[in-house]
Structure 1
Amino acid sequence: MQWQGVNEFVAVAEEGSFTAAAKKLDLSTAQVSRQISQLESRLGVKLLYRTTRTVTITQEGSIYYQHCRAVLDGLQHAEDELLNLQSKPQGKIKLTATVTYGEQIVLPLINKFVMRYPDIEVEAYLTNKRVDLVEENYDLAIRIGDLEDSTMMARKLSKRSNYVCAAPEYLHKYGTPHTISELSNHNCLLGTLDHWRFVVEGREKSVKVKGNLRYNSGFGLTQAALNGIGIVQLPDYYTQDYITQGLLVPLLESYRIPVEGIWAVYPQNRFMSPKLRVLIDFLVENIQ
Protein backbone atom coordinates (compact mmCIF):
# COMPACT_ATOMS: atom_id res chain seq x y z
CA MET A 1 0.00 0.00 0.00
CA GLN A 2 2.85 2.39 0.83
CA TRP A 3 4.12 2.29 -2.76
CA GLN A 4 0.80 2.49 -4.57
CA GLY A 5 0.62 5.58 -6.75
CA VAL A 6 4.31 6.50 -6.45
CA ASN A 7 5.31 5.35 -9.95
CA GLU A 8 2.24 7.03 -11.39
CA PHE A 9 2.93 10.30 -9.56
CA VAL A 10 6.60 10.38 -10.63
CA ALA A 11 5.62 9.69 -14.23
CA VAL A 12 3.07 12.52 -14.29
CA ALA A 13 5.55 14.92 -12.64
CA GLU A 14 8.16 14.12 -15.29
CA GLU A 15 5.90 13.87 -18.33
CA GLY A 16 3.68 16.85 -17.47
CA SER A 17 0.42 15.11 -18.26
CA PHE A 18 -1.67 12.15 -17.21
CA THR A 19 -2.00 10.93 -20.79
CA ALA A 20 1.75 10.87 -21.42
CA ALA A 21 2.37 9.23 -18.05
CA ALA A 22 -0.22 6.54 -18.78
CA LYS A 23 1.41 5.83 -22.13
CA LYS A 24 4.84 5.59 -20.50
CA LEU A 25 3.59 3.15 -17.87
CA ASP A 26 1.33 1.26 -20.28
CA LEU A 27 -1.73 1.99 -18.13
CA SER A 28 -5.01 3.74 -18.71
CA THR A 29 -5.27 7.45 -17.93
CA ALA A 30 -8.11 6.72 -15.53
CA GLN A 31 -6.00 4.23 -13.61
CA VAL A 32 -3.13 6.71 -13.29
CA SER A 33 -5.51 9.41 -12.05
CA ARG A 34 -7.12 7.05 -9.56
CA GLN A 35 -3.80 5.87 -8.11
CA ILE A 36 -2.56 9.44 -7.63
CA SER A 37 -5.84 10.51 -6.01
CA GLN A 38 -5.56 7.62 -3.56
CA LEU A 39 -1.92 8.57 -2.86
CA GLU A 40 -2.91 12.18 -2.16
CA SER A 41 -5.69 10.99 0.11
CA ARG A 42 -3.32 8.74 2.07
CA LEU A 43 -0.69 11.50 2.42
CA GLY A 44 -3.26 14.19 3.20
CA VAL A 45 -1.69 16.70 0.77
CA LYS A 46 -2.29 17.93 -2.75
CA LEU A 47 0.58 16.81 -4.99
CA LEU A 48 -0.71 18.09 -8.34
CA TYR A 49 -2.94 20.90 -9.58
CA ARG A 50 -5.13 19.65 -12.42
CA THR A 51 -6.97 21.66 -15.03
CA THR A 52 -8.49 20.57 -18.32
CA ARG A 53 -5.30 21.58 -20.12
CA THR A 54 -2.39 21.51 -17.69
CA VAL A 55 -0.94 19.65 -14.74
CA THR A 56 1.23 21.59 -12.28
CA ILE A 57 3.16 20.13 -9.38
CA THR A 58 2.57 21.71 -5.96
CA GLN A 59 5.28 22.73 -3.51
CA GLU A 60 4.54 19.64 -1.44
CA GLY A 61 4.50 17.57 -4.61
CA SER A 62 7.91 18.89 -5.63
CA ILE A 63 9.43 17.87 -2.29
CA TYR A 64 7.80 14.46 -2.43
CA TYR A 65 8.93 13.97 -6.04
CA GLN A 66 12.62 14.55 -5.20
CA HIS A 67 12.53 11.84 -2.54
CA CYS A 68 10.53 9.42 -4.69
CA ARG A 69 12.87 9.91 -7.65
CA ALA A 70 15.89 9.13 -5.48
CA VAL A 71 14.26 5.97 -4.13
CA LEU A 72 13.26 4.74 -7.59
CA ASP A 73 16.75 5.45 -8.93
CA GLY A 74 18.23 3.48 -6.06
CA LEU A 75 15.98 0.52 -6.79
CA GLN A 76 16.87 0.65 -10.48
CA HIS A 77 20.58 0.82 -9.70
CA ALA A 78 20.27 -2.16 -7.38
CA GLU A 79 18.56 -4.19 -10.10
CA ASP A 80 21.13 -3.08 -12.68
CA GLU A 81 23.99 -4.14 -10.44
CA LEU A 82 22.50 -7.57 -9.87
CA LEU A 83 21.81 -8.07 -13.57
CA ASN A 84 25.29 -6.94 -14.59
CA LEU A 85 27.35 -8.85 -12.03
CA GLN A 86 27.90 -11.70 -14.47
CA SER A 87 27.15 -10.02 -17.76
CA LYS A 88 29.71 -8.95 -20.33
CA PRO A 89 30.24 -5.23 -21.03
CA GLN A 90 27.70 -4.04 -23.58
CA GLY A 91 25.43 -1.12 -24.39
CA LYS A 92 25.92 2.57 -25.13
CA ILE A 93 28.32 5.03 -23.49
CA LYS A 94 27.86 8.76 -24.05
CA LEU A 95 30.97 10.81 -23.30
CA THR A 96 32.36 14.29 -23.81
CA ALA A 97 35.87 15.75 -23.99
CA THR A 98 37.58 18.97 -25.06
CA VAL A 99 38.03 19.32 -28.80
CA THR A 100 41.77 19.02 -29.30
CA TYR A 101 42.51 16.56 -26.52
CA GLY A 102 39.55 14.54 -27.71
CA GLU A 103 40.74 14.51 -31.32
CA GLN A 104 44.39 13.78 -30.57
CA ILE A 105 44.18 11.46 -27.58
CA VAL A 106 40.69 10.26 -26.64
CA LEU A 107 39.12 9.32 -29.98
CA PRO A 108 42.09 7.27 -31.25
CA LEU A 109 41.87 5.26 -28.01
CA ILE A 110 38.11 4.89 -28.38
CA ASN A 111 38.73 3.37 -31.82
CA LYS A 112 40.92 0.71 -30.21
CA PHE A 113 38.46 0.26 -27.35
CA VAL A 114 35.45 -0.55 -29.55
CA MET A 115 37.56 -3.04 -31.49
CA ARG A 116 38.27 -4.82 -28.22
CA TYR A 117 34.65 -4.51 -27.01
CA PRO A 118 32.44 -4.70 -30.13
CA ASP A 119 29.24 -4.95 -28.05
CA ILE A 120 29.81 -1.45 -26.64
CA GLU A 121 28.59 1.58 -28.60
CA VAL A 122 30.32 4.91 -27.91
CA GLU A 123 28.90 8.34 -28.70
CA ALA A 124 31.47 11.12 -28.20
CA TYR A 125 30.74 14.85 -28.27
CA LEU A 126 33.77 17.16 -28.36
CA THR A 127 33.33 20.66 -27.01
CA ASN A 128 35.35 23.18 -25.01
CA LYS A 129 32.22 24.17 -23.09
CA ARG A 130 31.51 22.60 -19.70
CA VAL A 131 28.72 20.06 -20.16
CA ASP A 132 26.22 19.26 -17.41
CA LEU A 133 26.55 15.48 -17.30
CA VAL A 134 23.36 14.81 -15.35
CA GLU A 135 21.09 17.23 -17.20
CA GLU A 136 22.36 16.19 -20.64
CA ASN A 137 22.54 12.49 -19.73
CA TYR A 138 26.25 11.89 -20.24
CA ASP A 139 27.94 8.86 -18.71
CA LEU A 140 31.46 10.26 -18.72
CA ALA A 141 33.53 13.39 -19.27
CA ILE A 142 37.28 13.71 -19.81
CA ARG A 143 38.32 16.93 -18.06
CA ILE A 144 41.61 18.73 -17.56
CA GLY A 145 42.81 20.78 -14.60
CA ASP A 146 41.14 21.49 -11.27
CA LEU A 147 37.80 19.81 -10.66
CA GLU A 148 35.22 22.28 -9.43
CA ASP A 149 32.13 20.08 -9.14
CA SER A 150 32.23 18.08 -5.90
CA THR A 151 29.05 16.20 -6.84
CA MET A 152 30.99 14.18 -9.41
CA MET A 153 33.18 11.12 -9.03
CA ALA A 154 36.60 11.31 -10.67
CA ARG A 155 39.50 9.02 -11.54
CA LYS A 156 42.85 10.37 -12.65
CA LEU A 157 43.85 9.26 -16.13
CA SER A 158 47.04 11.21 -16.74
CA LYS A 159 48.53 14.69 -16.45
CA ARG A 160 49.60 17.54 -18.69
CA SER A 161 52.16 20.33 -18.64
CA ASN A 162 51.85 23.79 -20.18
CA TYR A 163 54.85 25.16 -22.05
CA VAL A 164 55.79 28.63 -23.17
CA CYS A 165 57.89 28.14 -26.28
CA ALA A 166 59.02 29.61 -29.58
CA ALA A 167 60.91 28.57 -32.69
CA PRO A 168 64.72 28.99 -32.68
CA GLU A 169 64.52 31.41 -35.63
CA TYR A 170 62.16 33.72 -33.69
CA LEU A 171 64.49 33.73 -30.66
CA HIS A 172 67.53 34.36 -32.89
CA LYS A 173 65.77 37.35 -34.45
CA TYR A 174 64.05 38.89 -31.41
CA GLY A 175 65.94 37.53 -28.41
CA THR A 176 65.01 35.14 -25.60
CA PRO A 177 62.88 36.37 -22.68
CA HIS A 178 64.23 35.33 -19.27
CA THR A 179 61.58 36.97 -17.07
CA ILE A 180 57.82 37.34 -17.33
CA SER A 181 58.09 41.12 -17.62
CA GLU A 182 60.08 40.72 -20.84
CA LEU A 183 57.07 39.18 -22.58
CA SER A 184 55.73 42.71 -23.15
CA ASN A 185 58.54 43.14 -25.70
CA HIS A 186 57.52 40.04 -27.67
CA ASN A 187 54.79 38.92 -30.03
CA CYS A 188 52.67 36.55 -27.93
CA LEU A 189 50.29 34.38 -29.92
CA LEU A 190 46.88 34.37 -28.23
CA GLY A 191 44.17 31.78 -27.87
CA THR A 192 40.72 32.47 -26.43
CA LEU A 193 42.22 34.29 -23.43
CA ASP A 194 44.44 37.36 -23.34
CA HIS A 195 46.49 36.21 -20.36
CA TRP A 196 48.96 33.40 -19.61
CA ARG A 197 49.38 31.50 -16.37
CA PHE A 198 52.63 31.35 -14.40
CA VAL A 199 53.90 30.58 -10.91
CA VAL A 200 55.65 33.46 -9.19
CA GLU A 201 57.08 32.96 -5.67
CA GLY A 202 54.94 29.88 -5.16
CA ARG A 203 51.66 31.44 -6.28
CA GLU A 204 49.84 31.25 -9.58
CA LYS A 205 49.73 34.54 -11.45
CA SER A 206 47.90 35.58 -14.62
CA VAL A 207 49.94 37.80 -16.91
CA LYS A 208 48.31 39.79 -19.70
CA VAL A 209 50.07 39.38 -23.03
CA LYS A 210 49.57 40.79 -26.53
CA GLY A 211 50.36 39.87 -30.10
CA ASN A 212 49.22 40.10 -33.69
CA LEU A 213 47.48 36.70 -33.87
CA ARG A 214 44.53 35.26 -31.99
CA TYR A 215 43.25 31.77 -32.83
CA ASN A 216 40.75 29.56 -31.05
CA SER A 217 42.80 26.64 -32.33
CA GLY A 218 45.77 25.16 -30.50
CA PHE A 219 46.86 23.49 -33.71
CA GLY A 220 46.82 26.85 -35.53
CA LEU A 221 48.84 28.51 -32.76
CA THR A 222 51.38 25.69 -32.84
CA GLN A 223 51.86 26.12 -36.58
CA ALA A 224 52.25 29.87 -36.16
CA ALA A 225 54.93 29.33 -33.51
CA LEU A 226 56.74 26.80 -35.73
CA ASN A 227 56.75 29.42 -38.50
CA GLY A 228 58.62 31.82 -36.22
CA ILE A 229 55.78 34.31 -35.86
CA GLY A 230 55.85 34.54 -32.07
CA ILE A 231 55.83 32.94 -28.64
CA VAL A 232 53.03 30.62 -27.54
CA GLN A 233 51.77 28.98 -24.33
CA LEU A 234 50.19 25.58 -24.99
CA PRO A 235 49.73 22.14 -23.38
CA ASP A 236 52.31 19.44 -24.00
CA TYR A 237 50.13 17.43 -26.36
CA TYR A 238 50.54 20.28 -28.86
CA THR A 239 54.20 21.04 -28.29
CA GLN A 240 56.08 18.08 -26.78
CA ASP A 241 57.06 16.38 -30.04
CA TYR A 242 58.31 19.65 -31.52
CA ILE A 243 60.29 20.45 -28.36
CA THR A 244 61.89 16.98 -28.51
CA GLN A 245 62.81 17.58 -32.16
CA GLY A 246 64.27 21.00 -31.38
CA LEU A 247 61.71 22.80 -33.54
CA LEU A 248 60.37 24.65 -30.49
CA VAL A 249 62.38 25.87 -27.50
CA PRO A 250 60.78 25.92 -24.00
CA LEU A 251 61.02 29.30 -22.25
CA LEU A 252 60.54 30.66 -18.70
CA GLU A 253 60.70 27.16 -17.24
CA SER A 254 61.16 28.41 -13.68
CA TYR A 255 57.75 30.08 -13.94
CA ARG A 256 55.92 27.09 -15.43
CA ILE A 257 52.70 26.14 -13.62
CA PRO A 258 52.60 22.67 -12.02
CA VAL A 259 51.33 19.72 -14.01
CA GLU A 260 47.54 19.44 -14.14
CA GLY A 261 45.47 16.30 -13.83
CA ILE A 262 43.45 14.75 -16.64
CA TRP A 263 40.36 13.09 -15.20
CA ALA A 264 37.56 10.71 -16.04
CA VAL A 265 34.52 12.30 -14.40
CA TYR A 266 31.09 10.71 -13.95
CA PRO A 267 27.99 11.40 -11.80
CA GLN A 268 28.28 9.86 -8.36
CA ASN A 269 24.65 8.74 -8.43
CA ARG A 270 25.19 6.96 -11.76
CA PHE A 271 25.55 3.18 -11.50
CA MET A 272 29.07 2.08 -12.45
CA SER A 273 28.12 -0.40 -15.14
CA PRO A 274 30.61 -2.94 -16.52
CA LYS A 275 30.78 -1.02 -19.81
CA LEU A 276 31.79 2.21 -18.07
CA ARG A 277 34.23 0.46 -15.76
CA VAL A 278 36.09 -1.25 -18.60
CA LEU A 279 36.27 2.01 -20.58
CA ILE A 280 37.78 3.95 -17.68
CA ASP A 281 40.20 1.09 -16.98
CA PHE A 282 41.17 1.08 -20.66
CA LEU A 283 41.83 4.84 -20.66
CA VAL A 284 43.91 4.62 -17.48
CA GLU A 285 45.96 1.83 -19.04
CA ASN A 286 46.53 3.52 -22.40
CA ILE A 287 46.68 7.29 -21.89
CA GLN A 288 50.30 8.31 -21.49
Structure 2
Amino acid sequence: MKYLEGIAEFCAVADVGNFTGAANKLDTSVAQISRKVASLEKLLGVKLLQRTTRSVSLTEAGTQYFQQAMPALKALEDAQLAVSALQASPQGLIKLTAPVAFGEAFIAPLLNTFMQKYAGISVQCTFSNEKLDIVEQGLDLAIRIGKLEDSTLVAKKLATRHLFVCGSRDYFSQHSMPKSLQELKEHTLLVGSQPNWRFVVNKEVQTLPVQGRVRYNSGNALCSAALAGLGLTQLPGFYVREALARGELIEVLPEYKDKQEAIWAVFPSNRNVAPKIRLLVDFLAQNIMDDR
Protein backbone atom coordinates (compact mmCIF):
# COMPACT_ATOMS: atom_id res chain seq x y z
CA MET A 1 0.00 0.00 0.00
CA LYS A 2 3.05 2.25 -0.28
CA TYR A 3 1.54 3.97 -3.34
CA LEU A 4 -1.17 5.48 -1.10
CA GLU A 5 1.33 7.33 1.08
CA GLY A 6 1.40 11.07 0.54
CA ILE A 7 -1.83 11.32 -1.44
CA ALA A 8 -3.86 12.86 1.39
CA GLU A 9 -1.04 15.28 2.17
CA PHE A 10 -0.64 16.32 -1.47
CA CYS A 11 -4.40 16.81 -1.94
CA ALA A 12 -4.56 18.90 1.23
CA VAL A 13 -1.79 21.21 -0.05
CA ALA A 14 -3.44 21.45 -3.48
CA ASP A 15 -6.84 22.17 -1.91
CA VAL A 16 -5.70 24.76 0.66
CA GLY A 17 -2.85 26.27 -1.38
CA ASN A 18 -0.05 26.10 1.18
CA PHE A 19 1.78 23.69 3.47
CA THR A 20 0.79 25.42 6.72
CA GLY A 21 -2.92 25.20 5.96
CA ALA A 22 -2.55 21.57 4.93
CA ALA A 23 -0.75 20.76 8.19
CA ASN A 24 -3.56 22.40 10.19
CA LYS A 25 -6.20 20.58 8.16
CA LEU A 26 -4.60 17.18 8.76
CA ASP A 27 -3.49 18.02 12.33
CA THR A 28 0.19 17.32 11.64
CA SER A 29 3.40 19.26 11.10
CA VAL A 30 4.54 21.18 8.03
CA ALA A 31 7.68 19.03 7.97
CA GLN A 32 5.59 15.85 7.87
CA ILE A 33 3.47 17.22 5.00
CA SER A 34 6.62 18.17 3.07
CA ARG A 35 8.20 14.73 3.59
CA LYS A 36 5.08 12.88 2.47
CA VAL A 37 4.65 15.01 -0.65
CA ALA A 38 8.33 14.60 -1.53
CA SER A 39 8.02 10.82 -1.13
CA LEU A 40 4.98 10.78 -3.40
CA GLU A 41 6.80 12.83 -6.06
CA LYS A 42 9.77 10.44 -5.85
CA LEU A 43 7.48 7.43 -6.20
CA LEU A 44 5.72 8.93 -9.22
CA GLY A 45 8.94 10.26 -10.70
CA VAL A 46 7.36 13.65 -11.45
CA LYS A 47 7.13 17.09 -9.84
CA LEU A 48 3.63 17.76 -8.53
CA LEU A 49 4.15 21.13 -6.83
CA GLN A 50 6.10 24.21 -7.80
CA ARG A 51 7.48 25.72 -4.58
CA THR A 52 8.81 29.24 -4.02
CA THR A 53 9.54 31.12 -0.81
CA ARG A 54 6.15 32.83 -1.07
CA SER A 55 3.77 30.44 -2.79
CA VAL A 56 2.93 26.90 -3.81
CA SER A 57 1.34 26.08 -7.16
CA LEU A 58 0.45 22.92 -9.06
CA THR A 59 2.52 21.78 -12.01
CA GLU A 60 0.70 20.45 -15.06
CA ALA A 61 1.27 16.92 -13.78
CA GLY A 62 0.14 17.99 -10.31
CA THR A 63 -3.10 19.43 -11.66
CA GLN A 64 -3.88 16.21 -13.53
CA TYR A 65 -2.98 14.03 -10.55
CA PHE A 66 -5.08 16.17 -8.17
CA GLN A 67 -8.12 15.94 -10.45
CA GLN A 68 -7.81 12.16 -10.53
CA ALA A 69 -6.75 11.56 -6.93
CA MET A 70 -9.22 13.83 -5.12
CA PRO A 71 -12.39 11.89 -6.07
CA ALA A 72 -10.72 8.64 -5.04
CA LEU A 73 -9.63 10.16 -1.75
CA LYS A 74 -13.16 11.48 -1.12
CA ALA A 75 -14.55 7.99 -1.79
CA LEU A 76 -12.24 6.59 0.90
CA GLU A 77 -13.30 9.33 3.31
CA ASP A 78 -16.97 8.60 2.59
CA ALA A 79 -16.35 4.94 3.33
CA GLN A 80 -14.78 5.87 6.67
CA LEU A 81 -17.70 8.15 7.52
CA ALA A 82 -20.18 5.41 6.71
CA VAL A 83 -18.37 3.00 9.03
CA SER A 84 -18.09 5.64 11.76
CA ALA A 85 -21.84 6.24 11.58
CA LEU A 86 -22.37 2.62 12.57
CA GLN A 87 -20.57 3.13 15.87
CA ALA A 88 -22.90 3.34 18.85
CA SER A 89 -20.68 6.00 20.38
CA PRO A 90 -18.93 8.73 18.34
CA GLN A 91 -15.16 8.90 18.52
CA GLY A 92 -12.41 11.41 17.83
CA LEU A 93 -11.28 15.01 18.13
CA ILE A 94 -13.53 18.00 17.33
CA LYS A 95 -11.77 21.31 16.67
CA LEU A 96 -13.82 24.48 16.84
CA THR A 97 -13.71 28.19 17.60
CA ALA A 98 -16.13 30.51 19.42
CA PRO A 99 -16.26 34.18 20.53
CA VAL A 100 -14.46 34.72 23.82
CA ALA A 101 -17.13 35.93 26.26
CA PHE A 102 -20.05 34.00 24.81
CA GLY A 103 -17.89 30.92 24.34
CA GLU A 104 -16.61 30.93 27.89
CA ALA A 105 -20.06 31.56 29.37
CA PHE A 106 -22.16 29.17 27.26
CA ILE A 107 -20.23 27.06 24.76
CA ALA A 108 -17.57 25.69 27.14
CA PRO A 109 -20.10 24.34 29.71
CA LEU A 110 -22.05 22.66 26.91
CA LEU A 111 -18.87 21.14 25.48
CA ASN A 112 -18.08 19.75 28.93
CA THR A 113 -21.55 18.20 29.16
CA PHE A 114 -21.20 16.80 25.63
CA MET A 115 -17.91 15.12 26.51
CA GLN A 116 -19.43 13.68 29.69
CA LYS A 117 -22.15 12.14 27.53
CA TYR A 118 -19.78 10.87 24.83
CA ALA A 119 -16.59 9.56 26.40
CA GLY A 120 -14.95 8.87 23.04
CA ILE A 121 -15.04 12.56 22.02
CA SER A 122 -12.27 15.04 22.75
CA VAL A 123 -12.51 18.78 22.07
CA GLN A 124 -10.06 21.52 21.14
CA CYS A 125 -11.76 24.94 21.26
CA THR A 126 -10.07 28.24 20.39
CA PHE A 127 -11.84 31.22 21.97
CA SER A 128 -11.23 34.24 19.77
CA ASN A 129 -13.16 37.32 18.66
CA GLU A 130 -11.37 37.15 15.30
CA LYS A 131 -13.22 35.28 12.56
CA LEU A 132 -10.71 32.50 12.06
CA ASP A 133 -10.59 30.85 8.65
CA ILE A 134 -12.04 27.39 9.32
CA VAL A 135 -10.39 25.68 6.37
CA GLU A 136 -7.03 27.42 6.82
CA GLN A 137 -6.95 26.59 10.54
CA GLY A 138 -8.14 23.01 10.05
CA LEU A 139 -11.25 23.52 12.21
CA ASP A 140 -14.40 21.41 12.11
CA LEU A 141 -16.80 24.22 12.93
CA ALA A 142 -17.14 27.75 14.30
CA ILE A 143 -19.70 29.52 16.44
CA ARG A 144 -20.61 32.89 14.90
CA ILE A 145 -22.96 35.62 16.12
CA GLY A 146 -24.84 38.11 13.95
CA LYS A 147 -24.98 38.51 10.20
CA LEU A 148 -22.89 35.99 8.27
CA GLU A 149 -20.69 36.89 5.35
CA ASP A 150 -21.34 35.16 2.05
CA SER A 151 -19.22 32.02 1.82
CA THR A 152 -19.27 28.36 0.85
CA LEU A 153 -19.66 27.35 4.50
CA VAL A 154 -22.80 25.61 5.74
CA ALA A 155 -24.63 27.48 8.52
CA LYS A 156 -27.12 26.17 11.08
CA LYS A 157 -28.99 28.61 13.31
CA LEU A 158 -28.64 27.61 16.96
CA ALA A 159 -30.58 30.36 18.73
CA THR A 160 -31.31 34.10 18.84
CA ARG A 161 -30.44 36.73 21.40
CA HIS A 162 -31.64 40.24 22.32
CA LEU A 163 -29.75 43.52 22.34
CA PHE A 164 -30.41 45.87 25.29
CA VAL A 165 -29.71 49.61 25.51
CA CYS A 166 -29.16 50.53 29.13
CA GLY A 167 -27.48 52.87 31.61
CA SER A 168 -26.97 53.10 35.36
CA ARG A 169 -29.16 54.84 37.93
CA ASP A 170 -26.30 57.28 38.57
CA TYR A 171 -26.22 58.21 34.90
CA PHE A 172 -29.98 58.78 34.76
CA SER A 173 -29.86 60.88 37.92
CA GLN A 174 -28.02 63.45 35.79
CA HIS A 175 -29.52 62.77 32.34
CA SER A 176 -33.06 62.31 31.09
CA MET A 177 -34.08 58.98 29.61
CA PRO A 178 -34.18 58.99 25.80
CA LYS A 179 -37.70 58.71 24.39
CA SER A 180 -36.66 58.18 20.74
CA LEU A 181 -33.72 56.91 18.72
CA GLN A 182 -32.90 60.50 17.72
CA GLU A 183 -32.52 61.48 21.38
CA LEU A 184 -29.69 58.96 21.74
CA LYS A 185 -27.48 61.47 19.93
CA GLU A 186 -27.83 63.77 22.97
CA HIS A 187 -26.36 61.14 25.30
CA THR A 188 -22.89 59.84 26.06
CA LEU A 189 -22.59 56.50 24.30
CA LEU A 190 -20.26 53.63 25.14
CA VAL A 191 -19.16 52.09 21.87
CA GLY A 192 -18.08 48.51 21.17
CA SER A 193 -16.30 46.97 18.21
CA GLN A 194 -19.21 47.77 15.86
CA PRO A 195 -19.67 51.35 14.56
CA ASN A 196 -23.48 51.03 14.53
CA TRP A 197 -26.21 50.10 16.98
CA ARG A 198 -29.09 48.00 15.67
CA PHE A 199 -32.79 48.54 16.30
CA VAL A 200 -36.08 47.26 14.90
CA VAL A 201 -38.50 49.95 13.71
CA ASN A 202 -41.81 48.85 12.17
CA LYS A 203 -40.44 45.30 11.93
CA GLU A 204 -37.42 46.43 9.93
CA VAL A 205 -33.83 46.51 11.14
CA GLN A 206 -32.32 50.00 11.27
CA THR A 207 -28.76 50.94 12.18
CA LEU A 208 -27.65 54.06 14.05
CA PRO A 209 -24.02 55.24 13.71
CA VAL A 210 -22.56 55.77 17.18
CA GLN A 211 -19.53 57.59 18.57
CA GLY A 212 -18.36 58.16 22.13
CA ARG A 213 -15.46 58.85 24.45
CA VAL A 214 -15.33 55.18 25.44
CA ARG A 215 -14.66 52.47 22.85
CA TYR A 216 -14.00 48.92 24.08
CA ASN A 217 -13.89 45.67 22.10
CA SER A 218 -15.11 43.83 25.21
CA GLY A 219 -18.71 43.43 26.30
CA ASN A 220 -17.66 42.96 29.92
CA ALA A 221 -15.68 46.21 29.80
CA LEU A 222 -18.65 48.08 28.29
CA CYS A 223 -20.95 46.72 30.99
CA SER A 224 -18.49 47.84 33.65
CA ALA A 225 -18.35 51.34 32.11
CA ALA A 226 -22.15 51.53 32.06
CA LEU A 227 -22.32 50.45 35.73
CA ALA A 228 -19.81 53.21 36.51
CA GLY A 229 -22.24 55.76 35.09
CA LEU A 230 -20.12 56.72 32.09
CA GLY A 231 -22.94 56.46 29.55
CA LEU A 232 -25.36 54.23 27.66
CA THR A 233 -24.38 50.98 26.01
CA GLN A 234 -26.01 48.41 23.75
CA LEU A 235 -25.16 44.85 24.71
CA PRO A 236 -26.53 41.30 24.39
CA GLY A 237 -28.56 40.10 27.32
CA PHE A 238 -25.98 37.74 28.77
CA TYR A 239 -23.72 40.72 29.63
CA VAL A 240 -26.36 42.86 31.36
CA ARG A 241 -29.30 40.68 32.39
CA GLU A 242 -28.18 40.20 36.00
CA ALA A 243 -27.44 43.92 36.47
CA LEU A 244 -30.86 44.75 34.99
CA ALA A 245 -32.53 42.27 37.36
CA ARG A 246 -30.76 43.85 40.34
CA GLY A 247 -31.77 47.34 39.23
CA GLU A 248 -28.15 48.44 38.77
CA LEU A 249 -28.83 49.09 35.10
CA ILE A 250 -32.02 50.45 33.55
CA GLU A 251 -33.16 49.50 30.06
CA VAL A 252 -34.32 52.25 27.68
CA LEU A 253 -36.13 52.15 24.33
CA PRO A 254 -37.24 48.50 24.75
CA GLU A 255 -39.83 48.95 21.98
CA TYR A 256 -36.97 49.16 19.46
CA LYS A 257 -35.04 46.20 20.82
CA ASP A 258 -33.46 43.87 18.24
CA LYS A 259 -34.58 40.41 19.31
CA GLN A 260 -33.35 38.47 16.31
CA GLU A 261 -29.54 38.52 16.39
CA ALA A 262 -28.72 34.96 15.42
CA ILE A 263 -26.20 32.53 16.89
CA TRP A 264 -24.85 30.16 14.23
CA ALA A 265 -22.77 27.03 13.85
CA VAL A 266 -20.85 27.11 10.56
CA PHE A 267 -18.79 24.32 9.06
CA PRO A 268 -17.17 23.40 5.72
CA SER A 269 -19.59 22.41 2.97
CA ASN A 270 -18.35 18.87 2.55
CA ARG A 271 -20.90 16.53 1.02
CA ASN A 272 -20.70 14.28 4.08
CA VAL A 273 -20.21 15.90 7.46
CA ALA A 274 -18.75 13.60 10.11
CA PRO A 275 -21.45 12.19 12.42
CA LYS A 276 -19.63 13.54 15.49
CA ILE A 277 -19.87 17.09 14.06
CA ARG A 278 -23.57 16.77 13.27
CA LEU A 279 -24.12 15.32 16.74
CA LEU A 280 -22.40 18.29 18.41
CA VAL A 281 -24.23 20.87 16.28
CA ASP A 282 -27.58 19.26 17.10
CA PHE A 283 -26.64 19.12 20.79
CA LEU A 284 -25.77 22.84 20.82
CA ALA A 285 -29.00 23.72 19.00
CA GLN A 286 -31.03 21.81 21.59
CA ASN A 287 -29.25 23.31 24.60
CA ILE A 288 -28.41 26.93 23.75
CA MET A 289 -31.40 28.91 24.95
CA ASP A 290 -32.86 31.81 22.99
CA ASP A 291 -32.86 35.33 24.41
CA ARG A 292 -29.27 35.45 25.60
Paired residue for 1:208? 209
Amino acid at match of 2:44: S
Distance 2:124 2:99 in 1: 14
Distance 2:238 2:8 in 1: 47
Contact kept, 8 Å, 1:183 with 1:209, in 2: the verdict is no
Distance 2:134 2:107 in 1: 18
Paired residue for 2:81? 80
Matched residues, percent identical?
Answer: 39
Paired residue for 2:36? 24
Amino acid at match of 1:33: L
Distance 1:62 1:106 in 2: 41
Amino acid at match of 1:88: S
Distance 1:84 1:74 in 2: 15
Q: Which runs of 5+ in 1 are unaligned?
A: 37-45
Within 5 Å, give how 1:257-268 maps onto structure 2.
257-268=258-269
TM-aligned CA deviation for residue 104 of structure 1: 1.0
Distance 1:80 1:205 in 2: 44
Matched, 1:33 2:44: yes
Distance 1:168 1:98 in 2: 30
Q: Which moved more, 1:201-210 or 1:148-157?
A: 201-210
Residue by residue over 1:18-56, the C-alpha shift from the partner in whole angstroms, topping out at 9 and shown as x without a partner, is: x978963897865x134x5xxxxxxxxx97779xxxx96
TM-aligned CA deviation for residue 95 of structure 1: 0.5
Contact kept, 8 Å, 1:192 with 1:214, in 2: the verdict is yes
TM-aligned CA deviation for residue 226 of structure 1: 1.7
Distance 1:145 1:28 in 2: 44
Distance 1:234 1:27 in 2: 54
TM-aligned CA deviation for residue 132 of structure 1: 1.6
Within 5 Å, give how 1:152-231 maps onto structure 2.
152-231=153-232
Q: Normalising by the residue count of structure 1, what TM-score does the alignment of the two structures yield?
A: 0.78
TM-aligned CA deviation for residue 201 of structure 1: 4.9
Distance 1:33 1:278 in 2: 40
TM-aligned CA deviation for residue 187 of structure 1: 1.0
Which structure 1 residue ranges, 4+ long, deviate > 6 Å from structure 2?
5-10, 19-22, 25-29, 46-50
Matched, 1:100 2:101: yes
Distance 2:127 2:225 in 1: 24
Distance 1:278 1:245 in 2: 38
Distance 1:187 1:28 in 2: 64
Distance 1:79 1:71 in 2: 13
Distance 2:212 2:203 in 1: 27
Q: Normalising by the residue count of structure 2, what TM-score does the alignment of the two structures yield?
A: 0.77
Residue by residue over 1:120-162, the C-alpha shift from the partner in whole angstroms, topping out at 9 and shown as x without a partner, is: 1100001111122122111111111223344222222211111
Matched, 1:89 2:101: no
TM-aligned CA deviation for residue 101 of structure 1: 0.7
Q: Which moved more, 1:184-193 or 1:197-206?
A: 197-206
RMSD between superposed Cα atoms in Å: 3.4
Larger of the two Rg values belongs to structure: 1
TM-aligned CA deviation for residue 199 of structure 1: 3.4
Distance 1:256 1:218 in 2: 17
